[in-house]
Structure 1
């Protein structure tokens, strides 16, 4: 079942104006249901890809959270340590609303999929379907698969100098196959023309 905006692991996103990153340049379409992730994505120069956007790179792999030896200086630091441990446990793919520190302005946080994400009328669900489809297209190409997106389940984002998204979604591995939970990570930095897929994989058990 697709989570609604009232679920505990989502919060209202920072609404970005279209002038910040025009959706029309994300492989040429505005809506997720009309996006073709293969169209136009090869036009971007290779050197625009950052080192942390190389396909298959998982920044959480082999990096378990280790709490500092010294005790926290105050309640805010203790709250941040709990939050950091929490998102490390899911490798970024789940951040409960009540775990996000009140004093933190940037960081990994759950996205309200049904709220407007880009003005005037593009929801988080629509834009994240675009990002997921870009990652799926790369995965299918590299692994010779035929995975197709069915629906977005949950998204954790990091907003700042762009959009980094940790997307949990249900997919079909064949036209008449059963639904399988997948994860994808994709990013578009503010100065980049296209979305960069980082990885796509079946969700861990």
Structure 2
């Protein structure tokens, strides 16, 4: 059982990753976006490689570049849905929280389960280190938004609010997780959201 990629509420299937055990758990606290920088290319590298049947290709290419830059600079966690095309960069889609993810469960509910898995791993990781005790007391409050990459090793990029101490201020956190074909949820990372950089012009 696995979720598929989604765009504009339409289901599409992402290509499986080659030569990878579909049930293998991802490595913890390793971000695949680390070291990846945005660059503007005249050749738009759509996920499918197919020609895009848009009446205004100049506008479509501009929207693709905006979406690509947002995905890269946020490491998968933020992209404005208005710039989403049928084929997005890395097949990562911004998903409405109330859209159905599994039978009888919305993405909000699905991602709440994912966050708890990531937080549990996060607390275990900090407990075995010399980090501040605040990291052990992170309490989930609510999911804010999420992005999704479908396929047999689907990935969720979840932004949520948490408290690092009882009655403390809300802090924005990020959780990244994977759902494999056997239905198991795997944590990939869990961390406070980084401080946003100053915006740059989109080229």
Indicate yes or no: 2:42 matched with 1:59.
Answer: no
**Alignment counterpart, residue 100 of structure 1, candidates 84, 90, 94:** 84
**Alignment counterpart, residue 24 of structure 2, candidates 37, 49, 57:** 49
* Offset at residue 162 of structure 1 (A): 3.9
CA distance in 1, matches of 2:11, 2:43: 33
Question: Which 5+ residue runs of structure 1 have no aligned equivalent?
Answer: 1-9, 16-46
Indicate yes or no: 2:60 matched with 1:85.
Answer: no
Q: Secondary structure at the match of 2:137?
A: coil
The structure-2 alpha-carbon separation of the partners of 1:128 and 1:71, relative to structure 1 and needing over 3 Å to count, comes to closer
CA distance in 2, matches of 1:62, 1:118: 33
* Offset at residue 87 of structure 1 (A): 1.0
Deviates more, 1:77-86 or 1:58-67: 77-86
**Could you give the per-residue CA deviations for residues 64-107 of structure 1, whole angstroms, max 9, x where no partner exists?**
12233x55596455543333222112111111112112455971
Structural RMSD (CA): 2.9
TM-score by length of 2: 0.69
Structure-2 residue corresponding to 1:199: 189
**Alignment counterpart, residue 12 of structure 1, candidates 9, 14, 34:** 9
Count how many residue pairs are aligned between Structure 1 and Structure 2.
Answer: 161
TM-score by length of 1: 0.68
* Offset at residue 134 of structure 1 (A): 0.4
CA distance in 2, matches of 1:105, 1:84: 5
**Could you give the per-residue CA deviations for residues 136-161 of structure 1, whole angstroms, max 9, x where no partner exists?**
10001101312121000010111122
**Alignment counterpart, residue 113 of structure 2, candidates 120, 130, 150:** 130
Alignment of 1:141-156 (within 5 A): 141-144=124-127, 145-156=136-147
**Could you give the per-residue CA deviations for residues 50-71 of structure 1, whole angstroms, max 9, x where no partner exists?**
4xx2001101112112233x55
